[in-house]
A and B are shown apart, each in its own frame.
Chain A
Amino acid sequence: MSYLDNVLLGLETALSWYNLLWCFVGVFLGTLLGVIPGIGVLAAISMLFPLTFQLEPTAALIMLAGIWYGTSYGGNTASILLNVPGSPSNAITCLDGYPMTKQGRGGIALLMTTVASFVGGSVGIILLMAFAGTISAYALNFSSAEYFSLMLLGLVAASNISNGSIVKSLIMVALGVLFGLVGSDIYTGARRFDFGVLDLADGINLIALAMGLFGVSEVIASIGKVNGKDVDPKSVSLSAMKPTRDDMRRSWMPMVRGSSIGSFFGTLPGTGPSIAAFMAYAIEKRVAKQPERFGKGAIEGIMAPESANNAADQTSFIPTLALGIPGSATMALMLGALMIHGIAPGPQLMTEQPSLFWGLVMSFWIGNVLLVILNVPLIGVWVRLLMVPYNWLFPAVLMFICIGTYSVNNSAFDVLLVMAFGGLGYALRVLGFPPAPMLLGFVLGPMMEEHFRRAMLLSRGDFATFIDRPISAVVLGFTLLILLWGFKPMLMRKRSTSA
């Protein structure tokens, strides 16, 4: 099939009224949850995940993806108006967005970041369309050794990039892998770590783990901190949103640079939109003629990161869809969603399920357009949502988490798991352990074990298979470099303290 046929097939799938409806529902709810501070994209996806069980796989994925990039659009609202990031990837937008609000330019900031998000998202989708096919065609030659090495790279990279100690992140990855091993062994059927509990025979429920780690623990951490008090709805009326010619002139290049930076970091394992937004801001400040304007309401300082995080949102689908290897915790959740809907992710996905793949990609365009249409007139509604006191919102969030988890398997035990992971997640957060690597380890762990054992079986027990195969060797080399780079600050400091 030619490229154009694929695109047309995708459009046909994405524009069916059924998929269109769920795309709209996804981006709408994504924006809604993105606006509310304290609910990150992981909590948003895991909360709304159960709603997709009744849908066909394509519609379910379209909706989940819509939630994912929708939160990026909505997340900047709280950053700009309240100086509280709606989700982590919008944190950097606070730096110049909130000063703009204080100068009475909040409306302009909201409008322009919507434009930036759209441009960034579009660039990301174009790259996704261009490269996913090439990569997955190449990946058809991969064997278990390559897959194992690539997954190891993803896990190590994810631990290294998140701020804080690499040892703590690696511990979280390893604990995640361990939780992933609970249940039946795929090769022998032997039960592992279920301690005779029948509810654990099929393993720990992904949704329960994600809801606890990202939903419940985030709610506990946000109580008493988030306060939607002083927003002036007048500052975001349509007339207050008209950017000046100077704003437009200053915005072009930051959007171009932001989109490129975001696209690049989106594809790298372990990075994702937060890092992309941060890098885009840093680079923008470096190339600026008057860097002293940054932090005081420079429009460049919101355009670059907002285009970067949306570009990264889209390009992070490249490794996930083309290889079946998620590069970030959010993509791990998307991958889990694919598997729950009975779809085997990997290079075969594009050839075996072209309507799903291309429908999903085309729905990204539609979703991004919907987000622009939705956001400009509805900004006033989102702002009013910010004024709802948090002590009314979080009991509702908890209710959705409980009912959502329960309805996956009609299992009260899964709700208990949510409590357990919520408590664990909060304790680990207090101690400075990042929760995202745990989710990534949880999803990748069982796949890694499977590929490791298969690779050893094929090589007749020879560990050299991982370095004999060139791609695997290169990937392992990268992994080692990243690991050394991550440990470098510790080794350096050791030398300086012992000297």
Chain B
Amino acid sequence: MSDRSYPDIIAGVIIAVFGTIVAVYAATHYNIGTVRRMGPGMFPTALGVIIGVLGVLLTLTAALRMIPAERIPEINWRAAVLVLTSVVLFSVLINTAGLFPAVIAVVATSAYADKGATVKTTVILSAILSVLAFLIFKFALGMNFKLMEWPF
């Protein structure tokens, strides 16, 4: 039972604002219709209201300390940034440069998310996984990938 859970309070406010935006956006952009014959806007509008109310509820419960504050685990920034970047690189490279560059990019970038990564192990791992990806997806499953292409 520590202090008030400030992360919960902040998260609740963000969610409440988000719900309000959803409700307003849906109500103004989509046709609401009638209860009997609902338009595409009614369900999302109601949902936005529900999300907003739940956000307010989260903020209130956290602010009034009705829920014991949980300890927030430490954020592994290094892992988060490198892993997410590696996925983006794959997305960019798969259609422009092909399978091998995309696999090497995702493996080599993400490997450094662990502090113990070295250039040698990364090169070996990239090579093994490129071959594995080729064998499984291209050779065995016959999927349609460009293997390698110069985008320039």
A binds B: yes
* A residues neighboring B (CB under 8 Å): 51, 54, 164-165, 167-168, 170-171, 174-175, 177-178, 181, 185, 187-188, 190, 192-193, 216, 219-221, 223-224, 389-392, 394-396, 398-399, 401-403, 406-407, 410, 412-413, 415-416, 418-419, 422-423, 426, 430-433, 449, 452-453, 456-457, 460-461, 463, 490, 493-494, 497
Residues of A within 8 A of B31 (CB): 188, 190
- Please report the C-alpha to C-alpha distance between residue A432 and residue B67 in the assembled complex, in whole angstroms: 12
Q: Are B54 and A167 in contact (CB under 8 A)?
A: yes
- What are 16 of the A-B contact pairs (CB < 8 Å)? A171-B51, A174-B51, A185-B40, A187-B38, A190-B30, A192-B30, A216-B83, A392-B121, A395-B111, A396-B107, A399-B129, A412-B92, A431-B11, A460-B36, A490-B67, A494-B64
Q: Are B86 and A398 in contact (CB under 8 A)?
A: yes
Q: Are B40 and A412 in contact (CB under 8 A)?
A: no
- Please report the C-alpha to C-alpha distance between residue A493 and residue B67 in the assembled complex, in whole angstroms: 8
Q: Are A461 and B35 in contact (CB under 8 A)?
A: yes
Q: How distant is A281 from chain B, measured CB to nearest CB, in Å?
A: 23
**Residues A220 and B44 in contact in the complex (CB < 8 Å), given A175-B51, A415-B94:** no
Across the interface, name the chain A residue whose C-beta is closest to B50.
A174
Q: How distant is A267 from chain B, measured CB to nearest CB, in Å?
A: 28
Residues of A within 8 A of B106 (CB): 395, 398-399, 402
Question: Counting CB contacts under 8 A, is B2 at the interface?
Answer: no
The winner among B75, B76, B99, B144 for most chain A CB atoms within 10 A is B76
CB-based closest 5 A-B pairs? A461-B36, A185-B40, A415-B91, A391-B114, A190-B40
Q: How distant is B103 from chain A, measured CB to nearest CB, in Å?
A: 6
Besides A171-B15, A402-B102, 4 other CB < 8 A contacts? A165-B67, A216-B87, A394-B113, A407-B141
- Please report the C-alpha to C-alpha distance between residue A416 and residue B58 in the assembled complex, in whole angstroms: 30
Question: Counting CB contacts under 8 A, is B135 at the interface?
Answer: no
Which among B40, B67, B129 is the interface contact of A188 at CB below 8 angstroms? B40
Q: Are A177 and B72 in contact (CB under 8 A)?
A: no
Q: Are B44 and A412 in contact (CB under 8 A)?
A: no
- Please report the C-alpha to C-alpha distance between residue A377 and residue B62 in the assembled complex, in whole angstroms: 52
The winner among A174, A221, A390, A449 for most chain B CB atoms within 10 A is A174
Q: How distant is A432 from chain B, measured CB to nearest CB, in Å?
A: 5
Specify the main secondary structure of chain A where it touches its partner: helix
Q: Are A432 and B70 in contact (CB under 8 A)?
A: yes
Q: How distant is B131 from chain A, measured CB to nearest CB, in Å?
A: 12
- Please report the C-alpha to C-alpha distance between residue A402 and residue B54 in the assembled complex, in whole angstroms: 34
Q: Are B87 and A174 in contact (CB under 8 A)?
A: no
Which among B22, B67, B79, B90 is the interface contact of A223 at CB below 8 angstroms? B79
Q: How distant is A54 from chain B, measured CB to nearest CB, in Å?
A: 7
Q: Are A167 and B125 in contact (CB under 8 A)?
A: no
Residues of A within 8 A of B84 (CB): 216, 220, 419, 422-423
Q: How distant is B97 from chain A, measured CB to nearest CB, in Å?
A: 11
Question: Counting CB contacts under 8 A, is B117 at the interface?
Answer: yes
Would you give the 0/1 interface string for B67-103, flagging 1 where the beta carbon is closer than 8 Å to chain A? 1001011011001100110111011101100010011
Q: Are A419 and B87 in contact (CB under 8 A)?
A: yes
Residues of A within 8 A of B83 (CB): 216, 219-220, 223, 398, 422
- Please report the C-alpha to C-alpha distance between residue A437 and residue B26 in the assembled complex, in whole angstroms: 23
Residues of A within 8 A of B39 (CB): 188, 190
